[in-house]
Amino acid sequence: MTISAQQETVFSNNQLSVEEIPSLQTLALLPISKKYRTLNILSIGLIALVLIGIASALRLQSFWSLPEGLLQAYPYVVAGIVAVGSLWALYHFFADVRIFYAIREQDISKQSGLIFRKLSCQPILRVQHVEVNRGPLDRWAGLASLQVFSAGGEMHTFEIPGLSIERAEQLREFILAHKDIGAR
């Protein structure tokens, strides 16, 4: 082996100038489907209605008598369910439109958060596997979630919710096809 061949295989860890590093500000982030917010708000409304229905059924049932304190608490229980449901729906109204994702040759990124903004980047080389999940409401709305699992972790690194099923499958196939390609 020649000296020049040995020098090419030697480990290097050169310092980089901060100005030379690509900026994430130039990352073209794509929004998730608008259906995702609507689906979340509808789900919250249905959960609140079911809870109010259960509270009403317990209050109006005639099989046993309830203590007077529970009968008087009924309006407060309903008001509490409405208040929590409204705050939860309001959060999703503003937070769900702030979920973005991007895919580049070497990584996949997700940005989210209403109050505390979070940007997660996962190198495609470190992806162990990718799942496309669809719950019953997601199937009804034609949506899917893409879960990206990092090598060495048992939990997903991050999840991109609210994608059309076609886009989720397209991203999954891209990541799987490129996860074994070496970094250039």
Domain ranges of the chain: 36-95, 100-184
In whole angstroms, what is the distance from residue 135 CA to residue 69 CA? 40
pLDDT of residue 181: 66
Give me the pLDDT at residue 24, please. Answer: 67
Binning the chain into helix, strand and coil, the percentages to the nearest 5 are 50, 25, 25
For the chain, 184 residues long, give each residue's pLDDT as a single digit of tens. Answer: 555 555 566 777 888 788 877 776 778 899 999 999 999 999 999 999 999 999 999 888 878 887 888 788 899 999 999 999 999 999 999 999 999 999 988 889 999 999 999 998 888 888 888 999 999 999 999 999 999 888 776 777 789 999 999 999 999 999 988 876 654 4
CATH for 100-184 is 2.30.29
CB within 8 Å of 137: residues ≥ 6 apart: 39, 43
Name the pTM for this structure: 0.76
- The pLDDT score that the predictor gives to residue 12 is 77
How much is the pLDDT for 102? 93
Maximum separation of any 2 CA atoms in the chain, in Å? 94
How confident is the model at residue 7, as a pLDDT?
55
Return the closest-CA partner of residue 102 out of 120, 86, 76, 90: 120
Cα separation values, 120 from 20, 22, 44, Å = 21, 16, 27
Residue 179 to residue 184: CA distance in whole angstroms: 13
Q: Look up residue 165 and give its amino acid.
A: I
Give residue 13's pLDDT: 81
> Strand pairing of 100-103 and 107-112?
antiparallel
Q: Which two tokens stand for residue 105?
A: 């040759």
The answer for 181, left when phi > 0, alpha when psi is -120 to 50, beta otherwise, is beta
Helix (H, G, I), strand (E, B) or coil at 118: strand
| H-state helical runs in 10-135 | 35-60, 68-95
Contact 32, 161 (CB under 8 A): yes
Residue 9's pLDDT is 64
